[in-house]
Amino acid sequence: QVQLVESGGGLVKPGGSLRLSCAASGFTFSDYYMSWIRQAPGKGLEWVSYISSSGSTIYYADSVKGRFTISRDNAKNSLYLQMNSLRAEDTAVYYCVYGPLDYWGQGTLVTVSS
């Protein structure tokens, strides 16, 4: 079965950096596009970034453009999100999502606070 396991979240100060990882299994990772979607505490869902199956096409939400970088390693069945210049408003649970929203990981919490 499809499994997506995020890691790398934690507490970071404003202006700091974090790198999230997502380990995928149960499907041919290299065949599917992937996304990061976040949810601030008590709030709705917000799309963050998209990467095509090969990694050649990438999109970002305006709110993270220039600060976040999505990448993938198809040999390792892994998805990444490098987050720099973090702000308080980036505080959220970050979900790794397979394809057209079919499967979601359990999420990893990122807290940006001094």
Partner 1 sequence: QAGLTQPPSVSKGLRQTATLTCTGNSNNVGNQGAAWLQQHQGHPPKLLSYRNNNRPSGISERLSASRSGNTASLTITGLQPEDEADYYCSAWDSSLSARVFGGGTKLTVL
Nearest-approach distance from CB 49 to partner 1, in angstroms: 9
Nearest to 81 by CA among 103, 102, 97: 97
The CA angle 99-95-26, to the nearest 5 degrees, is 50
Binding site for partner 1 (CB under 8 A): 35, 37, 44-47, 50, 59, 61-62, 95, 100-107
Cα dihedral 6/8/64/48 (nearest 10): 10
| Nearer residue to partner 1 within complex by CB, 16 or 69 | 69
CA distances from 72 to 2, 91, 101 (A): 17, 23, 18
Q: At closest approach, how far in Å is the CB of 102 from partner 1? A: 6
**Cβ nearer to partner 1, comparing 41 with 114:** 41
Of 58 and 88, nearer to partner 1 (C-beta) is: 58
**In the complex, what is the shortest distance from the CB of residue 79 to partner 1, in angstroms, rounded to a whole number?**
15
